[in-house]
Amino acid sequence: MSAAHGAPTVQDLAISLTRLPRFTANGPLWFSVGNHCFVVYDLLPWRLKAYGLTHDGAETVGNDVPKPMKPAIIERREHKITNRMWAAMGLPALSAEDERIVKQADTLALYAELFTAGPVHLRKEYAHVQRDKKIEELIMYYYHRFTPEICVQYNGPAAQEFIKRFNASLRFVNLQAGSANTAAPHTTRAGK
């Protein structure tokens, strides 16, 4: 925890989110919040990847509360923690449009998770959702790449990948801030 900002550090996020299960572990597959963040990261353009990777950072403090059960007060608190965390990490504030883009990627990942790793009982509730097979394949890719056994390792391969991706995307944000004409760093398997 960053003492100066009262917010989780990248190291905190990497360790906690890769060990924290989505849907409070109520799905047929154990899928970590860190894996979810990797999917969101892959769905975003380079300028927003750092935000997508860390968008659930407040859950290191308050856990992953599933949407239907998350009261507005928790959402507001998470929003404050997230903004503090991004400031501590050196990330500029998001515009309303960029915040919408990150939220859209988060929602697309959620929908794909519901039909792969998420609780079976929620699938009926979301039957109206247009399924995206490519994102569902991405969910399965991360499920197999960072298995539960790998995810729960303290500072293990999943946490190290999280830190590596954050550093690459932060470098891009910093380069972009210094120059309007910057090439994207090396992309991930599904990166855009």
Residue 86: inside a domain, yes or no? Answer: yes
DSSP run (H or E) holding 72? helix 72-88
Residue 72: inside a domain, yes or no? Answer: yes
- CATH number of the domain enclosing 48: 1.10.3210.10
* pTM reported for the whole predicted model: 0.88
Residue 69: inside a domain, yes or no? Answer: yes
Residue 126: inside a domain, yes or no? Answer: yes
Q: What does each of the 192 residues of the chain score in pLDDT, given as a tens digit?
A: 555 557 889 999 999 999 999 988 889 999 999 999 999 999 999 999 999 999 999 888 877 766 666 778 888 888 888 999 999 999 999 999 999 999 999 999 999 999 999 999 989 989 999 999 999 999 999 999 999 999 999 999 999 999 999 999 999 998 888 764 444 444 444 444
Residue 82: inside a domain, yes or no? Answer: yes
Residue 184 confidence (pLDDT): 46
Residue 103: inside a domain, yes or no? Answer: yes
Domain count, the chain: 1
Domain limits at 106?
10-178
Residue 56: inside a domain, yes or no? Answer: yes
Residue 119: inside a domain, yes or no? Answer: yes
DSSP string covering 93-149: PPPHHHHHHHHHHHHHHHHHHHTTTS-THHHHHTTTSPP-HHHHHHHHHHHHHS-HH
Integer CA distances (angstroms), 51 to 24, 57, 98, 166, in order: 23, 10, 9, 9
